[in-house]
Amino acid sequence: MKLLVTGFPKFDDYAENSTQTLIESIAADPPPELGGGLAEVAFEIVPFENDDDATQQRTMLDSLHELLTLHAPDVCLFCGQAASRPWVELETIAINVFKGSVIDPDGPPAYWATLPDIEELANRLRDAGIPARRSHHAGTHLCNHILYSTLHRAQTTGSDIRCGFLHLPMTNTQVIADDENRPFVPLSLTRQALTIAIRHIIEHLTDEA
């Protein structure tokens, strides 16, 4: 089983993205809790160009296609920054909308995320002292787009790939650097959250195999 875990680079007026910081940190210094399962995990940033909405969409999809082709994952766990949210959110639904426009006119209105037992994962995070909950709306920007597009690709190609999305708050260092009045958590907490999520996915899908 191969798991692809991604974050996004900085966007809009933010000097950095909490998920890029997280992915680069955990790839450079893997938590010991991942153990031998780390060999099954690829950590990547999904780059895109920020010129305008159409360019964001096109370049993100190009990057996504390259990563899916490169890694051929069985599972994708996408991560994105949610600057207004004070907790880790596990997205359950991706909708066919990007900033007011339809992503794919031939696609269904929405897809359910396909990670195993999202409610159990939320409980595991809370039991570890991490504020977390399920969310039923991943927004209408690139975070929702990457989840919808990958689920739609799986549906239309007959792939068994499983997909899910974690929304993460800003980090304390971001808030200090940007002088933002935003919710935040330390990087150590998001590292712990992502580690628990990866272990949850690997354990469940190994049991299913």
How do the domains of the chain map onto residue ranges? 3-208
Lowest-confidence range among 2-16, 73-87, 146-160? Answer: 2-16
Per-residue model confidence (pLDDT) at position 127:
98
Provide the 8-state DSSP code for 99: T
> What does the alpha-carbon distance between residue 153 and residue 145 come to, in Å, rounded to a whole number?
12
Q: Which CATH class is domain 3-208?
A: alpha beta
Residues 6+ apart with CB under 8 A from 36: none
The 3-state DSSP class for residue 65 equals helix
Dmax (CA) of the chain: 48
When pLDDT is averaged across residues 71-85 and rounded to a whole number, the result is 94
Tell me the CA distances in angstroms from 62 to 55, 58, 177, one per residue in order.
Answer: 10, 6, 31
Distances (CA, A) of 14 to 2, 63, 86, 177: 32, 21, 17, 10
pTM over 0.85: yes
Return mean pLDDT, the chain: 92
DSSP-based three-state secondary structure for 164: strand
Per-residue pLDDT of 136-189, as tens digits, reads: 999 999 999 999 999 999 999 999 999 999 999 999 888 888 777 888 899 999
Per-residue pLDDT tens digits for 87-102: 999 999 999 999 999 9
Question: Does the pLDDT at position 13 exceed 80?
Answer: no
